[in-house]
Structure 1
Amino acid sequence: MSSGSDDDMPLARTNGRVSATRISDGVDKAMDKALSKQKTKPAPVGVSIRNGPVEDKMDVDGPFTNGKRKSRGSTSKAVNYNDGISESDEDAVPLAKRQKTFKKVQDVDSDDDVPLAKRKPGKLPPKATETAYGESSDDEPLTKLAEKKASIEKKAGREAKAIRAKEKKTKKPAKDDSEDEDVKPKIKRKSNGVASAKKTNGVKKDESDSDAPLAKKASAKKANGKVKTEATSPVKKGKAKTEESEEVEEIYRWWDAPKKEDDSIKWTTLSHNGVVFPPPYEPLPNHVKLLYDGVPVTLSVEAEEIAGFFGAMLNSTHNVENPTFQKNFFADFAEEVKKTGGARGPDGNKIAIKDFSKLDFKPIFNYYDAKNQEKKARSSAEKKEDKAAKDAAEAPYTNCIWDGRKEQVGNFRVEPPGLFRGRGEHPKTGKVKRRVMPEQITINIGKEATVPTPPEGHKWKAIQHDNKATWLVMWQENINGAYKYVMLAAKSSIKGQSDYKKFEKARELKKHIDRIRADYERDLKAELMADRQRATAVYLIDKFALRAGNEKDAENEAETVGCCSLKYEHIQLKPPNTVIFDFLGKDSIRFHDEVVVHDQVFKNLKIFKKPPKKEGDDIFDRLNTTQLNKHLTNYMPGLSAKVFRTYNASFTMSTLLKELKTSNISLQEKVKLYNDCNRKVAILCNHKRTVGASHEAQMEKMTDRIKGLKYQKWRIKRMILDIDPKQKKKKGPEWFELDEDLDEAWVLEHQVFLVQELRTKIEKKFQKDNEKLVAEGQKEMKAKELAERLGAADELEKKFKKENKTKKIEAEGKGPTVEKYLTNIQKLDERIATMSFQAEDREGNKEVALGTSKINYIDPRLTVVFAKKFNVPIEKFFSKTLREKFTWAIESIEDEEDWEF
């Protein structure tokens, strides 16, 4: 796409070093020549090739930095989160006189200034060689995955053209119809160099945002949009859980309801009961005091509450040992102490609290910890009673009446006061979250409804009747000045409609994806720097699922970045065409990946990093997210960078599911095939996560369970020999041997585990029986009864010892026969196979957040169609919560097995 003159091209940002307005032929040719000398064996383009630390000796274009984003107005100076902590504090006694701990904190914090590639291994994801990412999970080498991705993209192009051709035949095209495959969108250049559609305001009504039925008109029996339906899914074929099968509730079938004339009006009538406030602060007993330099101090109630916030979380070392957390807390705490009359010692004299290191919160921690332990030690009956009382008190707030129907409210509780934690290295972590008062609350409610009564002695900030808003209650928190909203729950019709619109918008992108890709591939060689940067950004967003990256206030928000806000230090270039990303993304999750890109993209990034640019400068200095999204609306109303993630995940999943062959396989195998597709989507769309710290322990536990079943099977085989020794000759001696996965040492250890497991079960059963007796007003059983019950564990222990000594296992059970034992062995084989599938599935998913993909990126209707087509209970894929959230997807295509994304 051509652009205007140089003079009409304002910079996206004016601070720091920026790229030239145009890329001359000389620069292009010089870069081509330089890169041609570095050519090596080509790698597969378009997929991640590793998920781990960058080798120190790697031939890249510069050293790694810590991956933290600097603000748009920042210089190359690194952010120092130690500011405000004096050097003398390093040797001071922290929290509760824990000098060693404090020293450790300083060491950890100093690691922030160490390049990511050189940090301690424990802080990094495993190397590609350790995880075999992209290979072990699907047994496909990277080349095949790259080929698969290219094949899916070609298919997407063909489908886009076919859809437009079909629409052209079924309706008369408008004069400026840009949907024809042979007609480019009518775009004219604006002075900012961003392509703009004929309708420049970008607010053309989005068809996908309507409430039109998904696949069919409302039937006569559903004309009012409501039906009585079971909470369990109609897709489910197996036997439902008792409590679910009996549960019947009214579901508002908005997808079958008549389309609204005004989509901006969200409700006509609305009533609700407001919010639940946290309980008031309970002052500490007189004998529990904060210590300052070893002296107990008396504080105002307000200051004592803030001290309690810190003291209660001493075991959260990640926070309380963070210097930034300490610094921010102490600033707010000291200010509150000063504002409320200061601190006084035992003799009543004022004590000046000036040094955080002299504070000792241990007495406060011990007090709250004892209360928590006491709470945990309550009997099951007491816990149930407390929960019932809490549920009864909150019941009026859990639902609202929205246009005459009951809708569940999501977060009806006002956040309690405490210490702000934030995500990642948030600069405000540790600051005091103040108690929200009714005077800060704005209520949104219908004009005819009764306004909730505020707590006694208080009043609401405001009452409004905005039927274009979907929130019920709003307030502003004091940390970042952000507004908090009480919204409807995820299972509500409003949230369902929002999800539906999101996935329909992704489906709409199917019509345009070929033209978008063709345009950005052409503009990768554009002369104008702004065009080339935009094309490169769209390529990265489309191919590698990078988020667009909005502007951040560096002083108030964690320094996270996305594609458009990438800094010089966030990408490293490894010839011939490998790009290494390393930055903090959404929620301060580290995005660390090594990908192979198109040669032209590699060349462009090299140009974008060309001197005099250096650390701290923007890669895409002539592009921001507003310009990028405005450009995308030329192809489709409402199109933004985030729609690509949903489209790519859903279209890829749709393609993979169509290729499955599920005949003559078990239910568990079908589930695994589905999860394999989900996993492959994560790989092809570059949705990954770092391996969880508990993964190895979980896998070890599953392995032990499988071994336990094999040991159980071996014991039954030995019992067969006890009944009929001739079976050894009939089946062969190998059949009766211990499985190769087991050895004598493991068997002995497992026997000890089985005995202890039985003891634990007996003790828990005894405790529950006693609680039941007390609840019924009867006397508790004495310890003698428990000792008698534990005799079963003692007998099992003796049996194992005898078996180990005699090498013989006696037959067990009533009327044991060879046939019964063989049937038991067959059942165990089925359990072992099922559990082995589950273990393999979990191991393959260790780097993939399947739940996140299913909830956010993959159209749930794809899962529903798969479940219906191959007779798999929907419960195998969606939990009860997700079935409620995706009721619209389950119900709307209940009769359409051929539905396609």
Structure 2
Amino acid sequence: MSSSDDDMPLAGKRMANGTNGVTPHLSAATIPSTLDATLDRQIPSNGQVMPGISIAHGDVKVEDTASSKDKGAVVNGAGASKRKVRESFTRPDYADAESSDDDLPLSKKRRTTTAVESDSDDTPLMAKAKANGQIVHMPPRLSAHQIGEESDSDVPLGQKLAKQKQKIEKAAEKEAKQIRKEEKKEADKAPKKAPSAKKVKKEESSDDDKPLSTRAPAAKKAKVASPKPTKKDKPAPASASKKAATKSKAVKKEESADPEDEEDDDEQVNWWEDPTKGDGTNKWETLQHNGVVFPPPYKPLPKNVKMKYDGEPVTLHPDAEEVAGFFGGMLNSTHNVENPTFQKNFFNDFKAILKKTGGAKNRQGEKVDVREFAKCDFKPIFEHYDAERAAKKALSKEEKKALKQEKDEAEAPFTHCVWDGKRQKVGNFRVEPPSLFRGRGDHPKTGHVKTRVMPEQVTINIGKEATVPVPPEGHRWKEVKNDKQGTWLAMWQENINGNYKYVMLAANSDVKGQSDYKKFEKARELKKHIDRIRKDYQKDLKAEATAERQRATAMYLIDRFALRAGNEKGDEEADTVGCCSLKYENVTLRPPNVVIFDFLGKDSIRFHEEFEVDAQVFKNLKIFKRPPKGDGDDLFDRLTTAGLNKHLKGYMDGLTAKVFRTYNASFTMSQLLSEMKSEGTIPERVKDYNDANRRVAILCNHKRTVGAGHAGQMEKLGDRLKGLKYQQWRVKQMMIDVDPKIKKKKGAEYFELPDDLDEEWIVEHQAFLVEQEKTKITKKFEKENEKLKAEGEKEMKPKELDERLKAATDLEKKMKKENKTKKVEAEGKGPTVEKLEEQVKKFDTRIATMAIQAEDKENNKEVALGTSKINYIDPRLTVVFSKKFNVPIEKFFSKTLREKFEWAIKSVDENWTF
């Protein structure tokens, strides 16, 4: 799409392009005052702006009562297999795989039942589902305990969170005014070298409370007066960061793990101390690298391993066999292979490759028409690949090390490049091998074949004077470029969504670090404009022009509810939307002021939340949904993401809608940290940080779907916790064995079995302990034999292992005796009551620590703390917490992240503020 139509409404673009041959309904250019007055009478405003918080934690579950029978998914051609239901996530109800609605958008496919007769704007989605014969399970509500609140408070949790959000927003407004005031003072004190700049400062400060439209001329002057108008990402001035940067010079650089990197130590420059470095148009002047690593060619299956069709083994062309292997190799991934959409997309692509390669043939060489997925049996392929995986896993440590060394040596030339004379690590230098596309969430293209990328599809970006990498023999590159403004080394287009894949520098490289730094500095700069932006869009919520009112409403939703701006999608892309591209059917209104969103967002993750909004916003959404609009029509039909971002740049150079997510998360975290007093053990302090991180996610409406394996992980953690309690209980019983009078002295309650343990669980746990002991002994025996073999000595005989395994047999007998006699004999050398009491105390500490970890994990199940911590919260705030409360940074950042955020770790102290 050309840049000339950026401000054209989406509906207008579709009319111009004739999309789908359907003319969408477009909102009137202006909103009559009579309509506002009518809505004011219908929905009176209480004059209070509600900072929206979604208390619903998780997805709404909808069960279709009309189709309660389990259809079952045939995976291997060996009969029906039941589909596992994930409690934490409900897959949108797509139409049947063989349905004729293939060309319909995803939003249409989701409606598999008859429309509700009363389908008004004010009918909640829940009611519509019930009317369609569906059972609706509302998501669980956040508990006060989950965010560290007292559960006995009389104030409702939603109200408490809303008040906290209001408090944070007021603090933001106050701080913005203070920053501008201080900047004005600095400008007044500055020598009169650049009078035009000073004049701009005065003009800017004098109209702080005016709407943007009236400040436009001043903004233009400011732009002209800017000393470096080409530097879009120039960070906001911050005296605190400059002081911290000065201190960081004294910080000793950690030793590099790579000897070759140590050669560059003398040239090490803390670029964050000079943030303007590298901001020019050209990202590099000289660039040399060795291209990319391609996956190995397909290795055909042994002749005795064949896919079966209708019970008979069939022979396939290698290209078709490779595709069959993609599906067969992942039969253990039931979440994918039992998904009807995954099955349908795979089978369509598989039939296409069969047709292209001459089809399948039986033992007699006759052609077999592969028509039904249910008759396909991929199990022989799975068993072959599974055996290969097991064999690889069973390799000795030395063999695994040798294979890794061989691989590392082959890839060594590709791991680094020379960027402006400096050796930099390359991130993803490997080209992805062909496979089946999985996608995230409910991607409609899941299961399609990701084709093999050939050199003829790859474009190389390299210095003009550099040696161009040699492509694989018999091939050539698509193109060789010398794009100095690009930070990519190679690129190609993948076949699923038509997206371009780029080979970039590693996360810990200077270029990547500067990108992260500028991103968070831009969010910091937004601090001094946020009050004016909010004041302006609040005023424009009542604008007469529909375009202005739609823009203000979208800004409200983006700022308050962390909705992504969204971009218009092509016909072949996943039917995902953001704020600016919301459809009529994505928003349901429930008087007096509740808005329910239901759409597929980024990565096809379903966003299904309800919020309380300001009364004026509710009225505006009602106006934007007025007839004749209906399903498929744009809600904000006079707004585009490009138009919105163009408007935001009027406030601040480089400001876009996505900066609000980073700003809100970082500013909220900084406010929580300023009020925090973390004490106790390190695990308790880590939990305090996670509690704050979780609260940021809730206040900023950043959530995630519960992982499929969460329940299993919690069960294992629970068993480990119960195992510690059981061991502690045994030690207490040993105390009675040493001194029977201790029971009367300490009281019978002290020695009772914990409430969450019972005899049945104990028997199961004892069996587990015996098996664990056998495994431990066997592994140690095998390891010692490997060592003897490597040293050229004689290996131990199996009899030695049998002798060692008697310890596990003795343990089993001992536990059976304990269950029978209800007595535990004291263990160890010279056991005393005092020694056993010390053991009990140690178990107390271990149990408390594990209980905290389990509670933390459970509370975090629907909050993506990692994503929040890495992408939205300024990493310098995590460093501040680490230094302020004396918690090792390793508790928050892995080695990879410590390299990525080296600039944050070295540039601030505990007094730094966002």
Q: TM-score normalised by the shorter chain: which range applies?
A: 0.7 to 0.9
Instruction: State the secondary structure of the residue aligned to 1:215.
Output: helix
The one-character-per-residue Cα deviations of 1:180-213 (angstroms, maximum 9, x if unpaired) are 26435785599xx9x9967999995456446999
Question: 286, 290, 298: which one pairs with 1:281?
Answer: 298
TM-score (norm 2): 0.83
Preserved contact between residue 44 and residue 142 of structure 1 (Cα < 8 Å): no
Are 1:156 and 2:172 an aligned pair?
yes
Are 1:215 and 2:242 an aligned pair?
yes
Letter in 1 for 2:142: A
Preserved contact between residue 235 and residue 518 of structure 2 (Cα < 8 Å): yes
Report how many aligned residue pairs link the two structures.
840
Partner residue of 1:47?
53
Pairwise CA distance, 1:220: 13
Instruction: State the secondary structure of the residue aligned to 2:610.
Output: strand
Are residues 678 and 763 of structure 1, via their aligned partners in 2, closer, same or farther at CA, if it must alter by over 3 Å?
same
Pairwise CA distance, 1:660: 0.8
Letter in 2 for 1:138: G
Partner residue of 1:74?
none
Aligned-residue RMSD, C-alpha: 4.1
Are residues 760 and 344 of structure 1, via their aligned partners in 2, closer, same or farther at CA, if it must alter by over 3 Å?
closer
Preserved contact between residue 61 and residue 138 of structure 2 (Cα < 8 Å): no
Partner residue of 1:76?
none
Instruction: State the secondary structure of the residue aligned to 2:40.
Output: helix
Pairwise CA distance, 1:402: 1.8
Letter in 2 for 1:215: K
Preserved contact between residue 125 and residue 690 of structure 1 (Cα < 8 Å): no
* Map 1:660-679 → 2, pairs under 5 A: 660-663=676-679, 665-679=680-694
Pairwise CA distance, 1:248: 11
Pairwise CA distance, 1:574: 1.6
Question: 875, 882, 885: which one pairs with 2:890?
Answer: 875
Preserved contact between residue 609 and residue 619 of structure 1 (Cα < 8 Å): yes
Question: 605, 614, 617: which one pairs with 1:589?
Answer: 605
Partner residue of 1:230?
255
Partner residue of 2:626?
610
The one-character-per-residue Cα deviations of 1:483-525 (angstroms, maximum 9, x if unpaired) are 2211111121111111000000000000000001111111111
Question: 708, 726, 738: which one pairs with 1:711?
Answer: 726
Question: 871, 877, 881: which one pairs with 1:866?
Answer: 881
Partner residue of 1:899?
912
Separation (CA, whole Å) in 1 of partners of 2:760 and 2:412: 55
* Map 1:663-812 → 2, pairs under 5 A: 663=679, 665-812=680-827
Are residues 819 and 102 of structure 1, via their aligned partners in 2, closer, same or farther at CA, if it must alter by over 3 Å?
closer
Separation (CA, whole Å) in 2 of partners of 1:9 and 1:552: 14
Pairwise CA distance, 1:790: 1.9
Partner residue of 1:570?
586
Pairwise CA distance, 1:381: 3.2
Instruction: State the secondary structure of the residue aligned to 1:542.
Output: helix
The one-character-per-residue Cα deviations of 1:714-767 (angstroms, maximum 9, x if unpaired) are 322332333334434443343333334434444343333322322222222223
Are residues 464 and 107 of structure 1, via their aligned partners in 2, closer, same or farther at CA, if it must alter by over 3 Å?
closer
* Map 1:538-557 → 2, pairs under 5 A: 538-554=555-571, 556-557=572-573
Partner residue of 2:142?
132
Letter in 1 for 2:36: D
Preserved contact between residue 351 and residue 370 of structure 2 (Cα < 8 Å): yes
Instruction: State the secondary structure of the residue aligned to 2:285.
Output: coil
Unaligned 5+ segments in structure 1 are 1-6, 58-62, 64-89, 233-242
The one-character-per-residue Cα deviations of 1:261-307 (angstroms, maximum 9, x if unpaired) are 76222223222221111111223334444555666555444344334
Are residues 816 and 262 of structure 1, via their aligned partners in 2, closer, same or farther at CA, if it must alter by over 3 Å?
closer
Partner residue of 2:847?
832
Pairwise CA distance, 1:683: 0.7
TM-score (norm 1): 0.84
The one-character-per-residue Cα deviations of 1:594-630 (angstroms, maximum 9, x if unpaired) are 1111111111112211222222211111111111111
Which shifted more, 337-346 or 91-100? 91-100
Preserved contact between residue 427 and residue 507 of structure 2 (Cα < 8 Å): yes
Partner residue of 1:820?
835
Partner residue of 1:851?
866
Pairwise CA distance, 1:858: 0.3
Letter in 1 for 2:270: R
Preserved contact between residue 534 and residue 628 of structure 1 (Cα < 8 Å): yes
Which shifted more, 839-848 or 760-769? 760-769
Partner residue of 1:636?
652
Partner residue of 2:119?
none
Preserved contact between residue 568 and residue 613 of structure 1 (Cα < 8 Å): yes
Instruction: State the secondary structure of the residue aligned to 2:536.
Output: helix
Pairwise CA distance, 1:146: 0.8
Letter in 2 for 1:306: V
Separation (CA, whole Å) in 1 of partners of 2:373 and 2:753: 62
* Map 1:294-333 → 2, pairs under 5 A: 297-320=314-337, 325=342, 328-330=345-347, 332-333=349-350
Separation (CA, whole Å) in 2 of partners of 1:436 and 1:468: 25
Instruction: State the secondary structure of the residue aligned to 2:424.
Output: strand
Pairwise CA distance, 1:164: 0.2
Pairwise CA distance, 1:537: 0.8
Partner residue of 2:430?
413
Separation (CA, whole Å) in 1 of partners of 2:842 and 2:335: 47
Letter in 2 for 1:100: A
* Map 1:228-627 → 2, pairs under 5 A: 228-230=253-255, 250=265, 252-256=269-273, 259-260=276-277, 263-291=280-308, 297-320=314-337, 325=342, 328-330=345-347, 332-340=349-357, 346-348=363-365, 360-554=377-571, 556-627=572-643
Instruction: State the secondary structure of the residue aligned to 1:279.
Output: coil
Separation (CA, whole Å) in 2 of partners of 1:94 and 1:724: 63
Letter in 2 for 1:46: G
Separation (CA, whole Å) in 1 of partners of 2:884 and 2:865: 21
Are residues 564 and 774 of structure 1, via their aligned partners in 2, closer, same or farther at CA, if it must alter by over 3 Å?
same
Which shifted more, 795-804 or 543-552? 795-804
The one-character-per-residue Cα deviations of 1:364-406 (angstroms, maximum 9, x if unpaired) are 4444344333333333333232222212211221111222322
Pairwise CA distance, 1:138: 2.3
Pairwise CA distance, 1:132: 3.0
Letter in 1 for 2:397: S
Partner residue of 1:80?
none
Residue identity (%): 61
Partner residue of 1:180?
205
Preserved contact between residue 94 and residue 359 of structure 1 (Cα < 8 Å): no
* Map 1:88-127 → 2, pairs under 5 A: 97-98=77-78, 100=80, 112-114=110-112, 118=129, 127=138
Unaligned 5+ segments in structure 2 are 1-6, 16-22, 65-69, 85-92, 100-108, 114-124, 151-156, 189-196
Letter in 2 for 1:21: A
Preserved contact between residue 523 and residue 659 of structure 2 (Cα < 8 Å): yes
Separation (CA, whole Å) in 2 of partners of 1:284 and 1:313: 16
Which shifted more, 526-535 or 719-728? 719-728
Separation (CA, whole Å) in 2 of partners of 1:561 and 1:361: 36
Which shifted more, 770-779 or 108-117? 108-117
